[in-house]
Structures are given as structure tokens and as C-alpha cells.
Amino acid sequence: MMLAENNDPLEEGKVLNSEQGDADTSVSSEQDYNAGQIDKLEGLEAVRKRPGMYIGDPDIRGLHHCVFEVLDNSIDEHLAGYCNLIQVVLHDDGSASISDDGRGIPVDVHPKFGVPAVELVLTSLHAGGKFGQGAYKYSGGLHGVGAKCVNALSDWFKAEITRDGKVHEITFERGKTKDELKVIGSAPAGETGTKITFYPDATIFVDTISFEFDRLAVRLRELAFLNPGLRIKLEDERIESAKQEEFYYARGIEEFVEQLGASKTLVHNDVVSVKGKREVEIDYDGKTINDDVFADVVFQYNDSYQDNILCFANSIPNADGGTHLTGFRGALTRAINQYAKANKILKDKDPALSGDDVREGIVCVISVKMPNPRFSSQTKDKLVNAEIEGVVSSIVYEGLQEYFEENPNLAKIIIDKAVNAARAREAARKARETVRKSVLSGGGLPGKLADCSERDPEKSEIFIVEGDSAGGSAKSGRDRTTQAILPLRGKVINVEKARLHRALENKEIQTMITAIGAGIGEGDQEGAFDITKVRYHKVVIMTDADVDGSHIRTLLLTFFCRHMPDLVKKGYLYIAQPPLYKVTRKKKETYVANDDELNQILIDLGAEDIKLRQHGTTNIVEADLLKQVLELLASLRKFVKDVEGNGGNFKELLSKRTDKGLPDWLVSVKEGNNEEVHYFADDAAIDSFAAENRDLGLFDEELTEEELAECKLKYDGVMRRSLKYRLIESRAIDKILERLDELGLKTNPFFSEDIPVYELVEQDGDREIVAPVFDLFTILDKVLEIGRKGMRIGRFKGLGEMDAEELYETTMDPNKRQLLQVRLDEENAIEADQIFDILMGDVVEPRKRFIEDNALKVQNLDV
């Protein structure tokens, strides 16, 4: 689940992006329609003019899709048997690079086109080694448009190819060759590979050109699961977020399914794995060839009420499923019904179990590898090869029949769960019918809803407000034309722990369902959710900024994501952002959203009234430079608090700083009342420590039975990984210190016992007040203190503290407010599912671990 900032003024006056073209390209009806109106886009111009055809919308999702397009080429090298390591790096300058140890793109001159092959495949649409049966048999990139699309949509793009003992380089600007292919160095014998580096074009990606580490990590983790034996490294070199992660899974998608179900209560401990191959007829440009298709399906049931099925074709995620998903669903339903009937678990008179029944609580990964896959679009969201449905269906059906015969106890457990699901589904149908009838008999809409007069859903919005008090202010202050208000009393039921028919008994949930007007639940049954019937295209959760408000917001998010996921995927769900502070200075009132924004205001004000100079000199730090220093110190303090909150010591960390920088890692181990902190200079050192202390599970190591017995014996039966330990990266701190050094601030020593490093000079009328600085954080503290002078800062605890006018002005006015848009797509669906399981599910241990891991990062704790 992703929260995206949404400023309504921008939405109402949208920036025209390159996909939309010029503002006025229509042809008047009075003009002649002739050959003069026909145009042809040459080369990569089509990509720049219509990026949506190739990467989807040029928003944050499209931006990251560029990385995935280049990445797919490296995965294809692995599938062909030539690549074992892929590295993705986010650079300080905003660019991203993807490198692999594959064969390297060919650099020799193409015999037909007369240009180097690398230039051809990076500039000419539909050029590549994946047509017919070229260099790749099981490939994800098929259309010959992926990497060259990224080239076209990049401000600059560079390819470095290592092969034949040489390193070659070619550069481009917005899809056009800038520097011809040239040799820039030599390489050891036998070393090969490709490195692509690009900087996104801000005129195309108008929303953002900043890559998100976590969004990339989700996809890279998937690829490592889907390609056992492949090692993938992700590194962020940017100063504010420096960190790295490595992905490697020897057992592939079996580990994937185990991880997806880690925070759930499992129905059976061992995953069910079915795999096989079939020979099918594959069409290659009109020529039919028999070739092999491989299917690998792994699943496991848990006691939740949702299914989670992920589909991949040649390692490409298919968010909308496709023929492999259809084949699996049909085979699973058939196999369970056939076994249940044959073994008298279901009586002949009993109705057959439906697909929804047999899939309740399943976590499944479907991976197929095939020549010449076909997708519904360039973004490859849906597989459309008709022959794959039969392949997956036969492999899964036959595999399950054999598995159930060998494991009758497991088969009975799965069938019993499906029977219970069928009963609950019937109860939910009756409950939906009850809700529907109550709506019709009660006049349509709930009485507590203050509806808007607008009937166009695109122009209408509903605020779901915590409590009658805030609801009263919202009703008084709203724009009655477009804004509806629905106050809730108390907390809604936690739907993660209750089946749908239980949730439908909750009055507040009934009220929300009725107000939104689109039904509830999935499937084709009457009363199921229908996105076309949603009455408001902005459903805004508006709760207090305290603990209770956060809890209510989480309960509502759980409800919408579990039972109205289409509403979230469509982008209709938002979270209001009421201000945290009201700042009054010289009779001017300003509303401030968070601590970072408040600090920025204080820094701007305080820096105007203070000067910084080196001790014993007249060297004054310039005002603009001082502001940059203060912002870096504010960022540094956040990271330092994290380190010290986890047992580390900033002074001790600085004392270990070398010419190479700070140690990369800190490990804090607490046993009883004793706490040890270890510092490690690099990844090799931390890897060595992790290998010697496998029982700590620093990188989620799985212990063998022998190691488990040895650790229990060594520590009197108590595993150290169950005790408090922390693994902390210090790269971000080092990056900030480097940046401060570059700006000319002396960070060594950061702390001084005797001699001050700097002096702060404050002007008080005609005299100067000079304060020595023995600690660089004192600079920040003093500036913040001065910034607060003459300022009254009030902190809002709840919406009820605002009157109607104030609530509208700060939180509801489309011209001033900020909303967070909740988005649920394939990049964050897995992570969102796990978070809901941890925070709202029945299993206590993952929630306890989550609280322990994040407790020290909490800010503005309401006690």
C-alpha cells in the first residue's frame, strides 16, 4: 500500500504532460482533411510523444517501470544461463544504473544495418535478439522496445559493455546518439557484462524523477525468488537514504510462499509444490514449432479469509493474471471437488465447492517459463497465450491428484476449510441481502450522512470523520455542493479477524457501505462490490492525530483494502492531512503539517538573526551556506537518534571514522542487562560476524537442526535471536558528514572538550553576543531557539479543537489542503498484505516484533 501526496490545486489545473501532447492539437471542422494532416513520428519520437503506450502513465509507477524494463534484459541473460549477479544502484546525482555479468550487448557492426549492434538495439524500435528464436528462448522482453524506450525517456543514457577484453561506452541524449561507441578501457580476460545508467527526463516524468528504494526492493526480491541461484544487489548512494540490500534465495518460490505466509496462522506447515513441463505448439511469425513450457506452482493455506495469488511469466509479474491464472483456478477447483467426492468427504447431494471457496486463505505463486509469451500490453500485466491455460491446468490437476493421494490428512484439512468457507459465503450473501433490503426500506441513505447536492461522482467527495464533534464542525464548514460528511461513532470492527458476514453486522460498516453505494465483497453475487456504482470518487478518511485516531484510520484502511480493494486500486481513497501545529508570529497565523516543516520555518527565521564563524577568526559562514548546513544537521540528528536509540553511540561511532568513512554497520546485542555494540567497517566484516553468530539471524538465516540444538545447549535453551538485537546501517550518517565537509564545515572534531570549533554571533541591538560551540549540534539548537522567539506554537491534538472555519481552511479546502492518496498496486500489494497481517491479524509474535523494531522511531507519541 502506498500513500501518495495529492495537492488539489494541481489536480484541478493539471500540468499537461508529453503523453497528452500540445494543449490544442484539434483540427477545425472547417479545415480540409487531406494528406497535410497526416504525420509520421520517426524513430523514438513516438515513445516521447506517447509514453503511456510503452511504460504506462509517466507517473511514479512509470518512472520505476523504466528500471524494470532495463532489468528485464539482465534477467533474460540469467534465463539464458549467462548471468549470476545483477546490481542496481541509485546514484547521488539522481541517476540509476543496472549492471550484470552476462555476455554483454554485442558491439560489432551489424552486417545489414551498418551500425554497432548496441546502438541499433538502443535506438531502433523492435530491434533485439528476442524475435523468432534468436539469442533468448525464455525471455520477458519480446517487443524490442523496452531499453530503447528508457533511452528515449531519459535526459541522458549511457551503456558500458564489457566483452572481448575491452570496455566499450556509448552515450545518448533523449534517445539520440550523442557520443559514438568507443573503447574506454581494458578488462580482465573472460570478464563480460553490461551496465546501463540513465537519468529520467523531467519533462516526461513531471510528477517526480526520484527513485524509491523500497519500491525497487519489492521487485528485486521477487526476481530473486523466481530465479533461484541469482544474486541481486540494490544500493542507494543518495545522501538522505544511503543503504543497501542483497537478495538471494536458493529454494526459489518455495521460500517466497513461506515468506508471504510468515505472519499468518498456517493451516499446514509444509508448502505444496507442483511443477512440470509440457510440449506445445508455439507460433513463431507464422511458423509452428513444438517447444517446452515449464510451470512451477507453490501454495500454502492459512486461516485468513483472503486469497493471495501472484502470477509470473518468464519472471515478469502479471498483475492482472491471465491464462496461467485461469488454468490454475480451474484445476484447483476440479482437483479438490473430485478428491472430496471420490473419498466421500463431500456427499453426492452436497453442492460442489466453488472457486472462491477453495481459494480462501491460499497464498500461491504461479511461475511459467515459455517461448514467445504474449501479453495484453507492453506493460505485460496480463498473459494471453491461450495454450498456457491447458498446460497449467493439466500440470496442476495431475500434480494435486497425486499429492492428495499421498497426503490424505492435508487434503482433508484443505477440504474442510473450503466447506467452512462455503458456509460463511452463504451467510455473507444473506447478510448482504439484509443490508440491501434495509437500504431500500429505510429510504436509501443513512440518517447521519450529510450528503452533497452534486450527483456527478467525479466531482463529489465524502469525508469519513471520527466522532460527532468533528463531524459537526465538518458539516458546518464544508462546501455543501461537492462535500458529503459521514461521522462515525466509535471504532469499526477489525475485519482482518472476522469473516464478511460478521463485519456486515457492524452498524458503522453498514453505514459506510450504504453511503458509498457500491455494495461489498467480491464475486458475481447480488450485492457484491461494483466500482461503477461508487457515489464519490474521493473517499477521505479524516481522523484525529492521536493514538485513537491512528487506530481508527488503520481499521478503516483494513476494511477498504480487504473488502473494497477496487476502490483503492482505482485511486478513490484518500487520507486527510490536518495540520499538527498552528504558528502565530507578529499576528500572522500559519498552519504547519509536521515537525520537518516546523523546523524548516524555524531554521529560515533563526538563520536570519545569527552568524556562524570559525573560532578565533573573522571567517563568517555565508547565510545561504549556513541554511544548507542547518538542514543537513537536522537530517543528521534523525539518524543519530536512531543509532543511539538502538544502543549505538555517536561519539564512539565518530571515533572509528577512517579515511574510508564510518563503519558501514552497527550491531547491538542485548542479553539481560548487558548490551554490546559491534562496529563493522564493510560488508565483508558484517558477513563474517553473521556467519559466526548465525543464531542472531541478522539476515534471517535458517538454522539447521544441529545448529539449533547447539545454540539451545550453549544458551540454556534461550535463542539469542529472540532477545533484543539490532542491525543498523550508518552509510546515511557518513554521506551527510561528507556533504558537510564538502560545504566547508569542519566536522572533525564534531565534539570538542576544551577548544570550541565555532562561534555563534547573535546581534542584540548594538552589541554582539558570542557563544562558543563545542558540539556542532549546538549550532542547530541555537538557531531553532532564536527562530522560536516571538512565536507562539500550538499543537493540535484532534479535529475537535478546530472550529468549522478553521477545519475547512486547513483540511478540506481543495485550494489549500493536502491529501494522501492511498494506492494499492502490484509494487506494494505484497508489503501491504504483510503489514495488515502483522498489525491487525491474530498472530501476536510478528506484531510484538514489529513494535520492538519500530518503537524507537516513533515521533509525537501521544501518552
The cell for 537 is 470518487
Residue 89's nearest CA partner among 224, 227, 245 is 245
Task: Tell me the C-alpha to C-alpha distance, in Å, between residue 342 and each of 330, 334, 337, 338, 400.
Answer: 18, 12, 8, 6, 14
Please say whether the beta carbons of 559 and 495 come within 8 A. Answer: yes
Separation of alpha carbons 395 and 392, rounded Å: 5
Separation of alpha carbons 354 and 334, rounded Å: 9
Q: Please return the burial class of 552, using the count of CB atoms within 10 Å of its CB with bins 0-12, 13-18 and 19+.
A: buried
Q: What is residue 751's DSSP assignment?
A: B
Separation of alpha carbons 340 and 849, rounded Å: 40
Residue type, 131: F
The cell for 104 is 554483454
Separation of alpha carbons 320 and 383, rounded Å: 8
Residue 47's nearest CA partner among 129, 143, 149 is 149
Q: What region, left, alpha or beta, does residue 478 occupy, with left being phi > 0 and alpha being psi -120 to 50 degrees?
A: beta
Q: DSSP letters along 57-113, please?
A: STTHHHHHHHHHHHHHHHHHHHHTT---EEEEEE-TTS-EEEEE-SS----SBPTTT
Please say whether the beta carbons of 280 and 288 come within 8 A. Answer: no
Q: Provide the pairing of β-strand 231-236 with 85-90.
A: parallel
Cα distance from N-terminal residue to C-terminal residue, the chain: 28
The cell for 813 is 479546502
Is there a catalytic annotation at residue 805?
no
Is there a catalytic annotation at residue 11?
no
Separation of alpha carbons 358 and 521, rounded Å: 16
> Of 8, 57, 292, 546, which residue is the catalytic one?
546
Is there a catalytic annotation at residue 544?
yes
> Of 548, 595, 738, 762, which residue is the catalytic one?
548
Please say whether the beta carbons of 147 and 71 come within 8 A. Answer: no
Q: Is the dihedral of CA 239, 240, 242, 245 positive or negative?
A: negative
> Of 245, 357, 496, 544, which residue is the catalytic one?
544
* Element of type H or E holding 154: strand 154-163
If one counts every other C-beta atom within 10 angstroms of the C-beta of residue 861, the result is 8
Active site residues: 466, 544, 546, 548
